[in-house]
Chains A and B, each alone.
Chain A
């Protein structure tokens, strides 16, 4: 018999990340590598572990291979558990045919049986697309203290960005009055982080109702939350302060990687009380040769560096040959860079081999200003003496 759990987490990890171009050709957005050793989903999974949530359903859909291999049975996050633990939930076929998850709410609806096994009082719905550190246990206490039926984590964003998000109007004591998904003229800059805490018995009924509505998009932001508000349910906002990033574009992925290099970055990867867990590649320590010069960079294990690395993030097992210079760039795992190569403001995909004397990215052009980011595909073999740079959009 399965033990009852007070709260079950459902992690939506089916995001396609279309604006990330070739980076998401073979993997879902939550599987995008970030910060020299992590994948984006590691942040939410580690949040679960660090908050003491031990039952997590991960809903995958688009390109699940890399994600499934990464998550495995959840060992790095201590989620290989006797009761609960991690479960990968992909869309499946039934006698009547199979269905893709139509929207975020439908994804939970299709997995109601999974949730019901644990008879939870609360359901946490989160997305694997965002980078942030949040104590979900504090969110749950906030939810309980207010006797809420649903609580939405909110964060303040610059006004000009607000129209990309779900906007909340908050009244007295943090009660949500209005919720608008991506309005052209936002009335507030308090936006939904896509982190929801629900009373499960109530949500269950709304999911069924939403499913019966043929006009619904079956989406939390567009349909379920507005419906709950219309029917006068107790919805509260949970104000969050701190780093929160949706790395939806190549530019924002690059920029948030660069942000990590600040002397005191907003997102602290070195916090021992809130570790970010991931699969360990088990490489030896990095080796910096007598000719190496590394500054303002994050370098992961297994790297071997003979050249210069400045203001860059290197994933595990990257080789940088003598005379090569890497600047303002992100180099993914196991890339081999030959001799006298110059790389500037580029993202180089996994396992790519760059031949000697190549020039990649915008080199000494506009003093690094507003130059586009050059993306190099994974598993590419670039012969020597090539010049590769992005075409201005």
Chain B
């Protein structure tokens, strides 16, 4: 895999989905997830676990918390003398300008691509929750002598709710014959993972063909790289068979978070095929008081629990006082739930404080979100 580099493109080309308070000050990739992680930890750890040691992250909006999280990349073993982690913010165009296609960002960072020694590029978005090893996909890409390999997941009948994702159809040789966005008519259960493998020379060629000429167009890789070339290029699909969660709406975020309470899903997502790495906070072990009752929940270190917690996810350093109850909720880092307060189907962003006796309730499809540092 030393010939493969990774690009995580956070340009959110389909417009920034609204996750209410959760995305007020951060991009999706930077949303806390699973008790101690952020969304980007999954794609980033996947790359590292696959043996990729050169990863570029194209940031676009609201990336302050992301920079803080990634640091030098040490946690992912990407703090390296050669290669390692490259965080590449956008070249500043006029702020009021029309939204650019992701090709623009690839074009802006062409020097990074050219300067890297690797010959193959894995390009992914930043909002997919999955645990996969790119090695298989890369060897498939080589065996098929593919120009581009797109990763997809065949969704079972019961789990087809990835309505925001693009769908693809393949022929018998796994060659991509059609790809459409969510609004399209394509009847397919094959969902595009927003991940693809492409040879660097071809990628550079596709970028230049969009931007080499006079006048700028809004170009993106999927439309102008893949859809426009379905017949002229050899574009194959490679299946991901594990769990997939795409974080593109509040209800998706809630649902995929709650999926982690199923041990078979969390075992896979956190351990197989590789570990998911994240920044460590040096919190002590979680402490349970006399009278604490915690069931079917994920609890991160640094929590101090005296109340009742059911079917919930508690991030690091959450305090639940006596008589407080938390049900079906997600409570982010350092929140304080005071005596007798109750939460039902609520998402609390970091450092929120719920005062004694306060009761909050949301709905499964529309959980109540409380903003960062709010005091209710």
Contacts and interface: CB of A to CB of B under 8 A. Distances in A.
A, B co-complexed: yes
Interface of A: 35-37, 75-76, 261, 263, 269-270, 275-278, 280, 282-301, 304, 313-314
Interface in B266-316: 266, 270-271, 275-278, 280, 282, 284-302, 304, 313-314
Contact of B299 (A36, A275, A277, A288): A288
B298 A36 contact: no
28 contacts: A35-B285, A37-B284, A76-B282, A261-B287, A263-B289, A270-B302, A270-B304, A276-B282, A280-B280, A280-B282, A284-B34, A285-B300, A285-B301, A285-B313, A288-B296, A288-B299, A289-B263, A289-B295, A291-B295, A292-B295, A293-B293, A295-B289, A295-B290, A295-B292, A296-B288, A300-B285, A300-B301, A301-B301
Where chain B touches its partner, the secondary structure class is loop
A269 B289 CA distance: 15
Nearest to A268: B284
B36 interface: yes
Contacts, number: 103
A285 B314 CA distance: 9
Interface residues of B, number: 37
A273 B74 CA distance: 24
Contact of B282 (A278, A288, A294, A295): A278
Contacts of A290: 295-296
Nearest to B310: A290
B290 A296 contact: yes
A288 B293 CA distance: 10
B35 A298 contact: no
* 9 tightest A-B CB contacts, nearest first: A285-B35, A36-B285, A280-B280, A269-B284, A300-B285, A284-B270, A285-B300, A290-B296, A298-B285
Contacts of B314: 285
Contacts of B290: 263, 295-296
A268 to B, nearest CB: 9
A288 B312 CA distance: 10
Contact of B289 (A36, A276, A278, A296): A296
A287 B298 contact: yes
Interface in B236-267: 261, 263, 266
A129 B74 CA distance: 30
A371 B35 CA distance: 39
A200 B275 CA distance: 47
Contacts of A36: 284-285
A78 to B, nearest CB: 10
